[in-house]
A and B are shown apart, each in its own frame.
Chain A
Amino acid sequence: MPAAPDVPRDLRSLQRLMHRALLRPLATGDRMQRRWMDGRATAEVAAGFVRPNDRLSSLERLEIYNRMYWFRLIDNFHDDNPGLRAVLGPRAFNRLAIAYLTRYPSRSFTLRDLGARLEGFIRRAPRWTAPHTALAVDIARFEWAQTVAFDAPARPVLTTAEIARADPARLRLGLQPYVTLLALRYPVDTYVIAVKQRDALRAEASNASVAARTTARVRRIARPRREPVWIAVHRVDNRLFYKRLERPAYRILAALQAGRPLPRAVAAGGRAVTPAQVQEWFALWRQLGWLCRRK
């Protein structure tokens, strides 16, 4: 009798098979999908490599791992994207999470990087976020920027002496790698802050009375209306901050980040900007530690 097509004989084939099983999305009721990719019963595939015991079948034992995989990744996705979840609601958010993690399973040793490709995915597969795709893109960018602001490296800041020594016409300033500049169509900063405050209240209420829990649950936060905003997500003394920028300030910073020499970067701010204003902005950015040497 020929062996079943994928009964593993060695370590690598066992790992590939089990890995394929774990990464398949769960069926309803968080159960393992009953059919394998080729139409056979999943139970048959599981029985080919997992031993049953007196309480659990091969399939049930494999299912424990299948569930743990998805619960772990979705939990993480949930923690990193509270704003996106609030915009979509829990069910649509869950569908988005499964679609995204199926398309882009983790390629990093750390779960920190899980959301790195989310913005692109939302743009390319708008059906998971429709009719709020534009807002979802903005929020995904904003939430990923927080991960970056939390633990991206800091480069040595530029001293006054270094600036004074440099030829201003050729000086290229860098922007700290932990600073993300965002030009957004929605004011998502205030929205996400409101969501986080509500979630914190809910968490507190869940430790308190049932009455408090019920009132916390009914509070809905209205989705933001369209209104262009420019935001820098950054950190000061290792604490996260969002800073609203005026549009010309955003353009100057973006030009610096793109590697433009100082005069061209300043010109990117437009003609309406006065030298006094530019000076004020640079003083502030230096104070915040944003300006650094380029690599």
Chain B
Amino acid sequence: MPANAFNGHTDYGIGIGLRVPHYSHILSRKPVVDWFEIISENFLVGGGRPLEVLDQILEQYRVVQHGVSLYFGSTDRTDREHLRRLKALVRRTKTPWLSDHLCWGSVDGTYTHDLLPLPYTHEAARRTAAKIRQVRDYLEIPICVENVSSYAEFHLSEMTEWEFLTEVVEQADCGILLDVNNIYVSSRNHGFNPYEYLDGIPAHRVGQMHIAGHTKFEKYILDTHDHPVLDPVWQLYAHATKRCGVTATLLEWDDRIPSFQEVHAEALKANTYIAGARAASKPAPAHARRA
């Protein structure tokens, strides 16, 4: 089930995030990459170098838009002007789906530029789902919402994070960008079983996955995107891929970024787990069944 309504019925393979330190390598060497994920906000500008690079990338590669500022969970209204600019970018990139986070980050028009966790309440789910629908209807493309990593929980919460995620995506009828590293980070910070999380979400809605590295501190784990993917995260990814089917996967590496080749090689490790999931889902050949 690589393709579904939530990723525009595409089969995109393994991508990496488009980052400034790699621009010259990508534009001069034109390496083979299944797709690039761009941060929409970096290209919501009037002109100049960002848009020039984007257009050059678009000539050669498939691009998917990932955002950090829609704040589906903020009680602020969505800014219409922002949506208008986002839609123009969607037309430019022809992204088959668009993702942003299941979080909040602004209050009364003031931005934290962080991805803050929501209280897992029915009220929050209802408001968030309504906003996702509104954005999707305006942009006219499928939306996938991404689970964030978190360091705090709220007394107000009425359910688990995966129950909340499920309630939101069912109500919004949207897809999930499943970040398995974030599930791992949050599971360690809040003491839940990450496999229970994976088994609890509607697998048919997963349109994309994220993998990334994190950093361990004494009392908590921080989602830093500055390391290779750690083994427990690969194990979770293997499980997620078995459960959801082979899904467009992206490696996030945002800080202390090594060479393009190193990042790409790390991302391509996902192929091992994808092959495993493919083998497991194939019916056994006839002679084997006889034995």
Contact = CB atoms under 8 A, between A and B. Distances in A.
Interface of A: 8-12, 14-16, 18-19, 22-23, 48-51, 53-56, 60-62, 64-65, 68-69, 72-73, 105-112, 149-154, 177-178, 235, 238-239
B114 A49 contact: no
B82 A109 contact: yes
Contacts of B49: 150-151, 235, 238-239
Interface of B: 41, 44-52, 69, 73-75, 79, 82, 104, 107-114, 116, 118-119, 121, 123-124, 127, 151-157, 189-191, 219-220
B44 A110 contact: yes
A20 B52 CA distance: 39
10 contacts: A11-B121, A11-B124, A49-B156, A51-B152, A55-B220, A107-B111, A112-B45, A150-B49, A153-B47, A178-B48
Given A54-B191, A61-B151, A107-B109, 5 more contacts: A11-B73, A11-B124, A64-B151, A69-B113, A153-B47
A106 B44 CA distance: 17
A19 to B, nearest CB: 4
Given A73-B113, A106-B110, A110-B44, A51 B154 contact: yes
B155 A49 contact: yes
A112 B152 CA distance: 28
Nearest to A152: B46
Contacts of B153: 50-51, 53, 61
A293 to B, nearest CB: 15
A177 B194 CA distance: 51
Contacts of B47: 151-154, 178
Contacts of B52: 238
Nearest to A112: B45
Contacts of A15: 74-75, 104, 107
Contacts of B124: 11
A16 B107 CA distance: 6
A238 B124 CA distance: 44
Nearest to A155: B47
B45 A11 contact: no
A48 B156 CA distance: 10
Contacts of B157: 51
B66 to A, nearest CB: 14
Nearest to A106: B111
Contact of A22 (B44, B74, B112, B189): B112
Contact of A72 (B44, B73, B114, B127): B114
B226 to A, nearest CB: 14
Nearest to A54: B191
Contacts of B152: 50-51, 61-62, 64-65
Contacts of A69: 112-114
A106 B69 CA distance: 12
A73 B48 CA distance: 24
B112 A109 contact: no
For the complex of A and B, 5 pairs with smallest distance between CB atoms: A153-B46, A151-B45, A109-B69, A151-B48, A61-B152
A105 B119 contact: no
B154 A238 contact: no
A62 B118 CA distance: 13
B220 A56 contact: yes
Contacts of B220: 55-56, 64
Contacts of B107: 15-16, 19
A152 B48 contact: yes
A80 to B, nearest CB: 14
A65 B48 contact: no
Contacts of A235: 48-49
Nearest to A113: B111
A12 B119 CA distance: 11
A11 B110 contact: no
A154 B123 CA distance: 45
A55 B219 contact: yes
B156 A108 contact: no
Nearest to A109: B69
A49 B152 CA distance: 10
B81 to A, nearest CB: 10
Contacts of A177: 46
A73 B82 CA distance: 21
A290 B107 CA distance: 39
A106 B108 CA distance: 11
Nearest to A62: B152
A11 B151 contact: no
B126 to A, nearest CB: 10
B113 A106 contact: yes
B84 to A, nearest CB: 13
Contact of B156 (A8, A62, A111, A151): A8
A50 B69 contact: no
Given A53-B191, A55-B220, A14 B111 contact: no
Contacts of A238: 48-49, 52
Contacts of A22: 112, 114
Nearest to B219: A55
B141 to A, nearest CB: 19
